[in-house]
Structure 1
Amino acid sequence: MKLQKSLIALALAGLSVVSLSAQAHKPWLLPSSTEVEVGRDGTAWVTVDAAISEGLFDIDHQPLKLDGIDITGPGGIKVAPENVNNGKLRNTFDLKLPKAGTYKISLVSQSVFGSYKDKEGNVKRFRGTEESLAKDVPADATEVKLSRTDSRLETFVSTGEVSTDVLKPTGKGLELVPVTHPTELRAGEKATWRFLLDGKPAANQGVSLIPGGVKYRGTLGEIRKTTDANGELTLVLPAAGAYMVSSSWPAAAPQVQGQPPQMPPRRATYSAVLEILPE
Structure 2
Amino acid sequence: MKGWETTVKKLLIASLALISCYSTAHEPYVAPVAYQTTNTQVAILAGYAEEALHSEYALKSPKFEITDPKQVKSTIEADSKLGTATVFDLKLPEAGTYRVQTTASYPLKYVQDQKEWKLFFDMAADKAPAKSERDYLIPADLKTKKINPVEVTREWTLLTYVTKEKASPVQPIAAPIQVEFSTHPNELKANQPTKVKVAKANQPLANAEVVVRAKGATDEQAQTLKAGTDGSVDLIFPRAGEYLVEVTESVDSKKKPSNQFYSIISLSVN
State TM-score, norm by structure 1: 0.69
The amino acid that maps onto 1:92 is V
174, 177, 181: which one aligns with 1:178: 181
State which of 46, 57, 64 in structure 1 corresponds to 2:42. 46
Corresponding position: 1:161 with 2:166: yes
Q: Distance in 2 between matches of 1:144 and 1:52?
A: 25
Q: Residues 107-256 of structure 1 correspond to what in structure 2 (within 5 A)? A: 107-109=102-104, 145-165=150-170, 167-170=171-174, 172-214=175-217, 221-253=221-253
Answer yes or no: is the 8 Å Cα contact 1:29–1:48 preserved in 2. yes
SS in 2 for 1:7: helix
- Residue pair 1:152, 1:175 contacting (<8 A) in 2 also: no
What is the Cα deviation at residue 79 of structure 1? 4.2
**Corresponding residue pairs, total:** 226
Relative to structure 1, the CA distance from residue 112 to residue 105 in structure 2 (aligned partners, 3 Å threshold; closer, same or farther) is same
Cα gap change, 1:208/1:151 in structure 2, threshold over 3 Å: closer, same or farther? same
Identity %: 22
Given that residues 150 and 173 in structure 1 are in contact (C-alpha distance below 8 angstroms), is that contact kept between their aligned partners in structure 2? no
1:4 partner SS: helix
* Contact kept in structure 2, 1:210 and 1:243, CA below 8 Å: yes
Change (3 A) 1:3 1:112: closer
Report the counterpart of residue 57 of structure 2 in structure 1.
Answer: 62
Counterpart CA distance in 2 for 1:50 and 1:92 is: 7
Instruction: Could you tell me which runs of 5 or more consecutive residues in structure 1 were left unpaired when the two chains were aligned.
Output: 13-22, 116-123, 126-142, 255-261
- Which residue is equivalent to 1:131? none
- 1:108 is displaced (CA, Å) by 2.3
Q: CA deviation at 1:2?
A: 6.0
Instruction: Give how far 1:3 is off.
Output: 4.2
2:29 equivalent in structure 1: 28
Does the residue aligned with 1:225 lie in a helix, a strand or coil? strand
Report the secondary structure of 2:70's partner residue: helix
Summarize deviations over 1:186-225 as a string: whole Å, max 9, x none: 112111111111211111111110011349xxx9542222
Give the drift of 1:146.
Answer: 4.2
Distance change in 2, residues 1:198/1:6 (3 Å):
farther
Alpha-carbon distance, 1:54 to partner: 2.0
For residues 214 and 226 of structure 1, do their structure 2 counterparts lie closer, same or farther at Cα, with a shift above 3 Å needed? Answer: closer
Distance apart, 1:75 and its partner CA: 2.1
In the alignment, the residues of structure 2 paired with residue 234 and residue 108 of structure 1 have an alpha-carbon distance, to the nearest angstrom, of 26
Q: Is the deviation greater in 64-73 or in 202-211? A: 64-73
Q: Deviations over 1:65-100 (max 9, x none)?
A: 342221111222234559964212112111111222
Distance 1:89 1:185, change over 3 A: same
Q: Give the deviation of 1:245 after TM superposition.
A: 0.6
What is residue 4 of structure 1 aligned with on the other side? 15
Q: State the SS of the aligned residue for 1:69.
A: strand
What is the TM-score of this pair, normalised by structure 2? 0.71
Give, in whole Å, the separation in 2 of the partners of 1:113 and 1:221. Answer: 24
Aligned partner letter, 1:58: H
The amino acid across from 1:210 in the alignment is: R
| Change beyond 3 A, Cα 1:66–1:2 | closer
Equivalent residue for 2:83? 88
Query: Residue in 1 aligned with 2:133?
Result: none
8 Å Cα contact 2:109/2:152 also seen in 1: yes
